[in-house]
Amino acid sequence: MGTNEKEFVKEITPRNEDFSQWYLDIVLKSEMMDYAPVKGCMAIRPYGYAIWENIQQLLDRRIKATGHENAYFPLFIPESLLQKEAEHVEGFAPEVAWVTHGGGEKLTERLVVRPTSEAIICQMYSRWIQSWRDLPLLINQWCNVVRWEKNTRPFLRTSEFLWQEGHTVHCTEVEAEEEALKMLGVYKEFAETELAIPVISGLKSEREKFAGAMRTYTIEALMADGRALQAGTSHNLGQHFAKVFDIQFLDKDDELKYPWQTSWGVSTRLIGALIMVHGDDRGLKLPPRVAPLQIVVVPIFTKKGREEVLQKAKEITALLGENFRVKLDEREGYSPGWKFNEWEMKGVPLRLEIGPKDLQNDGVTAVRRETGEKSFIPEKVLAERIPELLEEIQGELLRQAQQFREEKTHLVSDYTEFKRILEEERGFLLTHWCGDPSCEENIKEETKSTIRCLPFEVSGKISKTGPCVRCGKEEGAPVYFARAY
């Protein structure tokens, strides 16, 4: 690899030459999406949507395992409902889409297309909750939302996107806080186990928190260009929404109380993260757990042995098809080399080549996408070896991503050094911050970096308190800074 890289992947801009273009080339050429005729909107094509379906399945399982049920709420929200929570409406007002007409007539009250569903869900919750026995109420919704974005990028920021949003209601502040943290933990475990994306979890600063929340928690991932991406959030909404939407319950002590709420979500942005964390100059590298295809079988035809090769390839595809997402690429008119490049671009984790030599040796040649490593697997041990290999690939992708993140995480206390790193190396900057919003604001203006989070754990990498990187005031808390998407 390396020297003739360009030769193999003519269709993709090299990652180091132009990261943005590289990303766009990949999402288009791998047929994950295509631009739709509405600004900032995309069609998610089967190859991209299959990843989303796998994400949904793997995450939905976890959401249900933690006691939540799925439900569905309306796409449209009456203007008056959205406006009930002042901070919330202020946060979303610039980016909502309005419905002003229906059936050819002007509506008496405008509707917003949901940018998030707190308002409409709280409205319904106020009717469903009367007693402490109704709590906790643990509901999740898979849906689309619309935010009229000015600067869009496929999967990372689109005018319409798909996500899940959990909305829970609890008797006490302690329970709500536990819930918000529990779901953030679910996201972290999910991202690392299934997506092979290591994340840092922590608390958002006041400036960066969700409009209307009391506290926002986040998982932050580092992309291959050294920029951070918020991969999931979880909010402790406090009682703000309960108060304005009049959600009350009669507690065991016979007192009428406002409950405590949370909301949490991850979106199709995770697909963008997969691309930017794992991809290389040849294209996608998908973790086996979420890859639409885990294995592609490429038969190597020759004049004489054609039928035998195809027969064996079909046999092996059928065998593996019982337990894995596998495809036999028996297309005519494409050379094996062409197919290799095509499936590598599409990020299929494992390729099995079956040719005359393999037939002779009673096995297949296996090639790992993430390392390019070739090995021969005797047919006898195929059924045991394949799952092991896929797990190794999954693990290796996580290991590579972790290693990259470690290399790109800079412990820094000097502001000049802080600025130099952002200019020259990027990545996460772990430092101290006094907590003053004006320091945060100044740093943003001077360096274009933002506080990604106040991490839960720093495990000895940095002292528990230290002087603020900007103003030098003592007793600053550890924070991660980065330029972000």
Q: Which is nearer to RNA, 163 or 324 (CB)?
A: 163
In sign, the C-alpha dihedral spanning 301, 304, 310, 313 is negative
Nearer to RNA, 3 or 108 (CB): 3
Interacting positions 279-298 with RNA (CB under 7 A) = 282
Residue 330 engages RNA in binding (rule: CB under 7 A): no
Residue 10, burial from CB neighbour count under 10 angstroms (0-12, 13-18, 19+):
exposed
Residue 352 CB, nearest approach to RNA (Å)? 9
Residue type, 182: K
Which residue among 26, 145, 222, 389 contacts RNA (CB under 7 A)? 145
Q: By CB under 7 A, is residue 302 in contact with RNA?
A: yes
User: Considering only residues 53-92, where is the footprint of RNA by CB under 7 A?
Assistant: 91-92
Q: Does 20 bind RNA (CB under 7 A)?
A: yes
Among 300, 328, 434, 468, binds RNA (CB under 7 A): 300
Selected range binding RNA among 153-161, 173-181, 417-425, 469-477, rule: CB under 7 A: 153-161
SS3 category, 480: strand
The pairing of beta strand 326-328 with beta strand 350-354: unpaired
Taking the complex as a whole, the smallest distance from the CB of residue 99 to RNA amounts, in Å, to 18
How far apart are CB 40 and RNA at their closest, in Å?
5
Which listed residue (80, 338, 423, 461) binds RNA by CB under 7 A? 338
Q: Which of residues 418-477 bind RNA (CB under 7 A)?
A: 445, 448
* 25: DSSP letter: H
Tell which one of 123, 262, 365, 431 touches RNA (CB under 7 A): 365
Chosen residue from 60, 175, 192, 208 binding RNA by CB under 7 A: 208
**225 or 246: whose CB is closer to RNA?**
225
Going from the C-alpha of 281 to that of each of 18, 30, 171, 427, 432, the distances in angstroms are 11, 13, 52, 20, 36
Stretch that binds RNA, among 71-79, 97-105, 143-151, 314-322 (CB under 7 A): 143-151
Cα–Cα distance, 239 to 169 (Å, whole number)? 10
**Cα distance between residue 332 and residue 337, in whole Å:** 13
| Pick 340 or 418: Cβ nearer RNA | 340
Which of 121, 211, 214, 296 lies at the binding interface for RNA (CB under 7 A)?
A: 211
Between 279 and 466, name the residue whose CB sits nearer to RNA.
Answer: 279
Q: Can you list the alpha helix ranges (DSSP code H) found in 11-140?
A: 19-29, 46-65, 79-82, 86-92, 118-128
Strand stretches in 226-304, DSSP E: 228-238, 249-250, 256-257, 260-267, 295-299
Place of tokens 């949370």: 262
Single out the residue of 299, 238, 312 nearest to residue 87, CA to CA: 238
The answer to whether residue 340 forms part of the interface with RNA (CB under 7 A) is yes
C-beta of 406 vs 446, nearer to RNA: 446
How far apart CA 34 and CA 29 sit, in angstroms, is 9
| The one-letter amino acid at 145 | V
- Of 68, 167, 209, 215, the residue at the interface with RNA (CB under 7 A) is 209
Residue 151, interface with RNA (CB under 7 A)?
Answer: yes
